Amino acid sequence: MGIKVVLAEDNVLLREGVARLIEAQPDLELVGTCGDLPELLALVAAHAPDAVVTDIRMPPTGTDEGIRAASQLRAEHPGTGVVVLSQYANPAYALELLAGGSEGRAYLLKERVSDVDELADAIRTVAAGGSVIDPKVVEALVAASARRPTSDLDRLTPRETEILREMATGKSNAAIAETLILSERAVEKHTNSIFSKLGLSEERNVNRRVKAVLLYLAGRPETGGA
């Protein structure tokens, strides 16, 4: 049986386009589509999907329905992963999405929709309990943190900064090693150094370390949650 997916997007053309992308994946099963928050919650209750792909803004208010849906689903359907699609590379939205924990949550810019593999991989990742944060959001956080008068980021080597960016998007050490053409042992060594220099606990759990790094980059203290 494939990964059951519910899609929520108020733009009809975009909804149809994303629906086709999902339906083209042999391991993904689109079980419902809608264009507003109430209908999304109803579809989740009816189908118990493994993952939800939702616009960040849609009726009834057109503000933060995707974030609110993710929060409500964590409480009522904790096994359902959520991919939030947004046109805003706003770190505040990503941090709000992860406020209750990063497990099973992804924040992607809508421009990623054109990359079929990236969207499909994000759906698979959240369905399995993983995390994905758009690289452009991470870049915005890194840039903002680096502009502070004093930043521990200055203590990182160029390679460590490169690994930090990859880590914050939700990649495991193995995935980082493959991306940067390094050995997994080398990545682990750099990762330990990064956490030490930034004063963060050395998290083995990918989801926890994603949240820890993002909170650090945002200049916020670590909080509870996965």
Cα–Cα distances in Å, from 170 out to 21, 40, 72, 111, 123?
A: 23, 26, 22, 18, 13
Percentage of residues in the chain having pLDDT higher than 90: 60
Between CA 60 and CA 36 the distance in angstroms is: 7
Compute φ and ψ for 79, nearest 5 degrees.
-85, 0
Domain positions in the chain: 3-133, 137-217
- The pLDDT of residue 34 is 97
CATH topology of domain 137-217: Arc Repressor Mutant, subunit A (1.10.10)
Question: How is domain 3-133 classified at the architecture level of CATH?
Answer: 3-Layer(aba) Sandwich (3.40)
For range 132-144, the mean pLDDT? 87
Q: Which helix (H) or strand (E) holds 16?
A: helix 12-23
Compute φ and ψ for 40, nearest 5 degrees.
-60, -50
Instruction: Please tell me the pTM assigned to this model.
Output: 0.82
Q: Mind listing the pLDDT tens digit for each residue in 127-136? A: 999 999 999 9
For range 106-124, the mean pLDDT? 91
Q: Mind listing the pLDDT tens digit for each residue in 185-208? A: 999 999 999 988 888 877 777 777
Residue 3 has pLDDT above 60, yes or no: yes
Residue 223 has pLDDT above 50, yes or no: no
